[in-house]
Amino acid sequence: MKSTNQAIENMEYVRRLLEQKQPGFAASLEFAVSLIEKSMEKPVDDQLIRLCAASARVACRGRLRGT
């Protein structure tokens, strides 16, 4: 139980840190997670998947450039 609580605290810490240091990338990851969660409920159309992938690529490019 203690290790589970520690893992949750660690994940929350990393999430907050990422939001501070790379807000665009953090938003892309949160969006991807929400798509995955929704796709478990009902299928997601191909256009939405392409939009998510494109936004993640843009965020990653900015991250690699240091912006």
The answer to whether residues 44 and 35 touch, using CB atoms and an 8 Å cutoff, is: yes
* Assigned token pair, 52: 């998510």
Entry pTM: 0.53
- The secondary element (H helix, E strand) that includes residue 54 is helix 46-65
pLDDT digits (tens, 9 = 90+) for 23-56: 988 988 888 888 778 777 666 677 777 777 777 7
Predicted pLDDT of residue 53? 78
Predicted pLDDT of residue 60? 67
Predicted pLDDT of residue 57? 75
Predicted pLDDT of residue 52? 75
CA angle 49–52–56, rounded 5-degree value = 140
